[in-house]
Homo-oligomer: A and B are copies of this chain.
C-alpha cells in the first residue's frame, strides 16, 4: 500500500484505528476498563501476540492508551484508555450507531471488498 498523499490528517487517524483488531481492543478497554496484556488478549479471541503488541504500541505512541509496567517478577503490564482514547470513543460510538443502522438496512449484506 503506497502512502496516500498526506494532505488529509484523517488518513493518519484512520490508519491508526484501522486494521483488523484495533477497534476491538479499544472497545474492550472502554467496556471493561484497564486490562493486563493476557486478559486483553483473551478478550480479543483470535488475535496473535504479535499484532496485539503492535497495536498497543501504536495506540500508545498516539497517546490513545497508556501502558503501566509493574516491575514484578512475572512482569505485569496494564493497558487503559487515556483521555484521548475516551474522546475517540465518543466519535466511534456515533460511527457505530450509523454502522448499526446501516446493517439493519442491509447496506453491508453484499458490500464486501472486491477481492475476497
Interface on A for B, CB 8 Å cutoff?
Answer: 1-5, 8-18, 20-21, 23-24, 27, 45-46, 54, 57-58, 61-63, 84, 87-88, 91-92, 94-96, 98-100, 102-103, 105, 107-108, 110-114
Report chain B residues within 8 Å CB of A21.
Answer: 4
B9 with A96: CB separation less than 8 A: yes
- Tell whether, in the assembled complex, residue A107 and residue B63 are in contact, meaning their CB atoms are under 8 Å apart: yes
Contact A113–B15 (Cβ < 8 Å): yes
The answer to whether residues A62 and B10 also contact, given A4-B21, A15-B113, A113-B15 and a CB cut-off of 8 A, is: no
Q: Are A98 and B13 in contact (CB under 8 A)?
A: yes
Docked CA distance A47–B84 (Å): 32
